[in-house]
Amino acid sequence: MEYKVIDRKGNIIPNDNSQKSLLDILYKTVGGSIALKGLTSPVVSKAAGAFCNSPLSQNLIPSFIKKAGIDLTEYEPAVYGSYNEFFTRKIKSDARPVDMTPDALVSPCDSKLTVYKIDEDSIFDIKGVSYHVDEFLRSRKLAEQYNEGFFCIFRLEVSDYHRYMYIDNGRKSKNFHIDGFYHTVNPIALEKADIYRENTREFTVLHTENFGKVIHAEVGAMLVGKIKNHHRDKGYRFKRGEEKGMFEFGGSTVVLIFKKDTVEFDDDIVLNTKNGFETVVKMGEKIGHKKGE
DSSP-assigned beta bridge partners for residue 290? 263
Considering only the C-alpha atoms of the chain, give the largest distance between any 2 of them, rounded to a whole number of Å.
54
Q: Which residues contact 170 (CB under 8 A, 6 or more apart)?
A: 206, 207, 208, 209, 237, 238
The single residue of 107, 160, 252, 266 carrying the catalytic annotation is: 252
Chunked mean pLDDT (size 10), the chain, 293 residues: 83 66 39 40 61 86 87 93 90 95 98 97 86 93 97 90 97 91 48 63 96 95 72 95 89 92 98 95 98 75
Q: Find the helix packing angle between 30-39 and 20-28, rounded to 10°.
A: 100
The single residue of 57, 107, 110, 266 carrying the catalytic annotation is: 110
pTM equals 0.86
Helix (H, G, I), strand (E, B) or coil at 247: strand
Question: How far, CA to CA in Å, does 287 sit from each of 13, 146, 163, 255?
Answer: 19, 20, 18, 14
The whole-angstrom separation of Cα 178 and Cα 196 is 11
Which alpha helices (H) appear in the chain, and where do they start and end?
Answer: 20-28, 30-39, 42-52, 60-68, 83-87, 133-137, 140-144, 195-198, 267-274
| 252 noted as active-site residue | yes
Helix (H, G, I), strand (E, B) or coil at 231: coil
The whole-angstrom separation of Cα 19 and Cα 194 is 20
pLDDT of residue 3: 64
